[in-house]
Amino acid sequence: MASQDGVDAVSQAGHRPGGQELEPAEYIRHGTAVFRRTNWALFAAGLATFGLLYCIQPLMPEFSRDYGVSAATASLSLSLTTGVLAFAMLFAGGVSDAWGRKSVMTASLVSSAVLVLLTAMVPDWHMLLILRALLGLTLSGLPAVAMTYLSEEMHPESIGLGMGLYISGNAIGGMGGRLVAGVMADFVSWRWGVATVGLIGLVSGLAFWRMLPPSRHHVHHPLHLGALLRRFALTFRDPGLPWLFAEGFLLLGAFVTVYNYIGYRLLAPPYNLGQAVVGAIFSVYLIGTFSSAWMGHLAGRLGRRKVLWTAFVLMLAGVGLTMARPLPVIVLGIVAVTFGFFGGHSIASSWVGRRAGNAKAQASSMYLFSYYMGSSVAGASGGLFYASHGWNGVALFVAALVLAGLLIAWRLYRLPPLPGPPSPGTEPPIPQ
């Protein structure tokens, strides 16, 4: 009889009575208890990670006032974190190969929450930047390793939905962090907002540790630099993976640039909105909890190549709407950009795991390196466009990034599909 934890979905290799060998551990499938527990754990991890990372984004105008820095300089509080995060994640996968997926992710969450709590206390701008840089280092143990865990443990038919649900946690964390910090900045202070996000991160880390099932398909590899570099090289032999890495750069680069500078526009005339209202507008992040799961599942059924391009079309339309003057139209544009971004990221990240073969950890790390470098480079560059041409300059810069992503999506559409999973007699091919 199957246990309540879904042993029918994930069974360990062993022996039946009488010496008959059991089948090797199966992959996690949607509709089982272990699938639900896994996704709740990774939902909590995404909630913490992206709340801790992005809670300072609506506070950039506050930093400009408190510390007397420009919009481009204030954006370093995020760009510096994502830049360090990008490089650190190149090695996070290798560390998790040696030390185990769950232990690395748990340590990442707890240490990151502590750093955010310290950030709420420092009076000096340069010390704040140092703590934000260290946060990029500690956070690196979660995103790349979570993608790898899902790629190793989920059945190919379920990975699109599983990745989408994980990214839903990212969306709620990013929204919640921004909303809590923005509202508390208006009514108490930005420091209390950041401290609250840090406490939520600690609680989420404990929930993750309690709920996540241990890895069953992970093979430990010693941390050896030469072998690690060889596994990285494997990712560039695939005809699709380098293009997917570029898509990650463009997706987050465009998205973060919009969110970095839209607050400056809405706090200024003719809108003159308060921090609490701008923080509330960031609640459109909730649309990402739907779009990531829905578009990820749709791509799993119809084929990733057939759905990815629609995410960039939505983002492009949204950027155009943000250039309008009426506030409701601007908000609608932010919704479209958010919907397209989370859907596109869900599709691209699950596609990386599908194409990576035996180099899943390194492919995930390379995708997320490109992803967060997009945030760091484009997010900081957007400040130059804002200083010289205002919001329209930012919007045109973002539109150029999205158009490049659309062209690459067309290139990916023309790739030959990968074969489906083993056992073709019993399993249908998985759409690409």
**What is the secondary structure of 377-418 as a DSSP string?**
HHHHHHHHHHHHHHHHHHHHHHHHHHHHHHHHHHHHHTSPPP
For position 427, what pLDDT does the model report?
Answer: 37
pLDDT value of residue 128? 95
Identify the residue with better confidence: 35 or 218.
35
- Tokens for 111? 């240490």
Give the type of residue at 387. A
**Residue 217: C-alpha distances to residues 154, 243, 253, 259 (Å):** 10, 27, 33, 38
Contact 281, 78 (CB under 8 A): no
Q: Which residues of 99-120 are buried (b: 16+ CB within 10 A; e: fewer)?
A: ebbbebbbbbbbbbbbbbbbbb
Q: Highest mean pLDDT range out of 54-58, 173-177, 197-201?
A: 197-201
Q: Torsions phi, psi of 196, nearest 5?
A: -65, -40
Q: For 353, phi and psi rounded to 5 degrees?
A: -60, -35
**Tokens describing residue 207:** 């929930």
1 pLDDT above the threshold of 60: no
Distance (Å, whole) CA 148 – CA 363? 9
pLDDT tens sequence across 309-350: 999 999 999 999 999 999 999 999 999 999 999 899 989 988
> 24 preceded by cis ω (within 30°)?
no
Reduce the secondary structure of 326-340 to three states and give it as a string.
Answer: CHHHHHHHHHHHHHH
The DSSP code sequence of 114-147 is HHHHHHTT---HHHHHHHHHHHHHHHTTTHHHHH
pLDDT, tens digit, 9 for 90 and up, residues 405-424: 999 999 998 877 665 544 43
CATH class of 34-213+222-413: mainly alpha
Chain centre to alpha carbon of residue 89: 12
Location of structure tokens 């480079």: 377
pLDDT tens digits for range 73-96:
999 999 999 899 888 888 776 777
pLDDT (tens digit, 9 = 90+) per residue, 245-285? 999 999 999 999 999 999 899 988 999 998 788 877 777 87
Question: Would you say residue 16 has pLDDT above 60?
Answer: no
